[in-house]
Structure 1
Amino acid sequence: MVFITPKISVPDDELHESFVRASGAGGQNVNKVSTAVELRFSIVNNWTIPYDVKERLTKLGGRRVTNDGELVLFVQVHRTQEMNRKAALERFVELVSKAAEPPPPPRIRTKPTRGSVQRRLVGKSIRAGIKAGRAKPGDDDDT
């Protein structure tokens, strides 16, 4: 059982791991041992995660979620299979716990106070007077 939050946990049998050969660093070992981990979790077929968390998890997963509603995490950061398994599980727990957080409430727009509107208009008129004083004497006379 993988515990994500006090209310959310995922049974081990719903997480499917497969191992493939990793690219990159590792020397000759990289050609012999399957160290990269591909962790698969079916969001659609899961019954332990609430519906709203599943929706947020699908959005957070982005392109890592297949059309069938399966989350696929591919990890090949470390040279050993065990370290990559831990990293994949950590990423999974982090992603689900982030999806478990409820979104913040929408911002409620407020009106500016009468005093702040008045101060803004007074400041604008003062600034307009300053700029009007910069004009050359005769610019506004068209006759």
Structure 2
Amino acid sequence: MLKKPDFQILIQELAFKTSRSGGKGGQHVNKVSSKVELIWDINQTAACDEDQKQRIIKKLGNRIDKEGLLHLVADDDRSQYKNKELSIKRLLKLIKESLIEEKPRKPTKPSKAAIHKRLESKKKQALKKINRNTNWD
């Protein structure tokens, strides 16, 4: 069982970039930087051990650039503070989901009753089609 990463350390390691966001807000949009880009360096983090880092990199590889930085953008709200909170919540959720271990699938065979039921339904369907082809002339 994996231990949980230390989210307090993780939050302190985050870097943020702000920029002007499009969307609703009228003139307010043109003068306020409400769009927030969260940047997290996975390779340099002290919040996770090596095994956790590898799992996160494997699961979230499409969001990680060549330098090993994970980028998340939030521009849902007109408030920079709310967008910052939202991006942190999204990051924590992504990390928790990527650290869940998938259970290996156990291959099973269909039961004899299931095989019999399938074959009976196939026979009924075949009889229907045969009966449709008979000419009544």
Q: Same fold (TM over 0.5)?
A: yes
- Alignment size in residue pairs: 131
Q: Does 1:106 align with 2:120?
A: no
What residue in structure 1 maps to residue 83 of structure 2? 84
- For residue 97 of structure 1, report the CA deviation from its aligned partner: 1.2
From the superposition, tell whether residues 48 and 132 of structure 1 become closer, same or farther in structure 2 (CA, over 3 Å): same
- For residue 79 of structure 1, report the CA deviation from its aligned partner: 1.0
For normalisation by structure 2, the TM-score amounts to 0.72
Report which of the two structures shows the higher radius of gyration computed on alpha carbons.
1
Amino acid at match of 1:89: I
What residue in structure 2 maps to residue 44 of structure 1? 43
- Unaligned 5+ segments in structure 1 are 1-5, 137-143
User: Structure 1 CA distance, aligned partners of 2:128 and 2:27?
Assistant: 77
User: Structure 1 CA distance, aligned partners of 2:13 and 2:104?
Assistant: 35
SS in 2 for 1:38: strand
User: Structure 2 CA distance, aligned partners of 1:119 and 1:80?
Assistant: 60
- Unaligned 5+ segments in structure 2 are none
* Greater mean alpha carbon deviation, residues 54-63 or residues 83-92: 54-63
User: Structure 2 CA distance, aligned partners of 1:109 and 1:97?
Assistant: 28
User: Structure 1 CA distance, aligned partners of 2:27 and 2:128?
Assistant: 77
For normalisation by structure 1, the TM-score amounts to 0.70
The CA RMSD over aligned residues, in Å, is 2.9
- For residue 117 of structure 1, report the CA deviation from its aligned partner: 3.9
